[in-house]
Each structure stands twice: as structure tokens, then as C-alpha cells.
Amino acid sequence: MAKKERRYFFVAKNVKTDNGYTIEFLNIPHVSASGVTYAETVYYSYRALSDFLSQLPGDEAALTAYTLSGIPENTENTFYSIVSVPGDFNPHKMTTTFTIAQTLPDEIRNQAAKLSHLVEYDDKPLASNHA
């Protein structure tokens, strides 16, 4: 059986703005990223998180102080995700999982539809929110 790699989990606040997106980590002050497309912003946030984690002392307690402790509910133009980070902090191996509250199937579909409209993976500039 293959040995599982240690992973750490961080809560990210994702906001769709008039000019693109911002991502900040709830338990890590001053670590954030912004970009025009969501994919670009995720990439920048992974790099910023990797840089921050690489500068921490080598003990587990220093690292886990910044890990997942809770997730607020999604709101208008704001949604939360969980960023999974490998033990070597390699940003190319980080992954994001979107959060949707457990509820009735119709409400889950409604939340997923709202989330999918907030996340745009193409390279086109965002249209005005009035469109």
C-alpha cells in the first residue's frame, strides 16, 4: 500500500469583484491574491500560500495554527473553498474544493448553480455585473 502524503487544509474566501476576483485565507492575515479570471487568481493564491508556508518554522504546531478551523456560509458574490496543500507546499500540487452546505437536493443544486455563475475559468475579461 502506498504511503499517503501529509496534507494541510486552509479556508479561502473567494470574492467576485467588478474587476475580477480576490482570494484571501481566513486564518492567515496578509496572504491574498487577486486576478482578472478565477483560474489566474487561484494560481496566484497558491503561490502566495506556498511562499508564506515555506517561511514558517519547521515545527508542526506553527503550521497547524493556520489550518482549517471553520467555514462561514457563502454570501452574495462571496464563496468559501478549502485549499489542500501537500507537505512540501508545492503550489502545483495544491487543490481547491468548493463548499456547499448539506441540505435538500434542490437547495444543493441552487447553491451549485450560484457558485458556477461566480466562477469563470475562461480568459475573457469579466462582463459588468449589470449584464
CATH number for the domain that contains residue 84: 3.30.160.250
d(CA 98, CA 93): 17
Which three cell numbers mark 71? 467555514
Q: Quick check: 40 pLDDT over 70?
A: yes
Q: Examine residue 130 and state whether it is found in any structural domain, yes or no.
A: no
Whether 1 maps to a domain, the answer reads no
* Residue 122 DSSP class: S
For residues 81 and 99, the answer to whether their CB atoms sit within 8 Å is: yes
Report residue 94 as a C-alpha cell: 495544491
Q: Is residue 129 part of a domain?
A: no
For residue 67, being part of any structural domain is answered with yes
| Cα(92)–Cα(46) distance, integer angstroms | 8
Domain span including residue 72: 7-118
Q: Which three cell numbers stand for residue 56?
A: 514558517
Comparison of pLDDT for 6 and 43, the residue scoring more? 43
Q: pTM of the predicted model, to two decimals?
A: 0.80
Tally of domains within the chain: 1
Q: Is 48 part of any domain? A: yes
Closest CA to 26 of 79, 93, 77: 79
pLDDT at 126: 43
Q: Would 102 be classed as within a structural domain? A: yes
Q: Give domain status of residue 81, yes or no.
A: yes
pLDDT band at 100 (very low <50, low <70, confident <90, very high): confident
Instruction: Answer whether residue 12 is part of any domain.
Output: yes
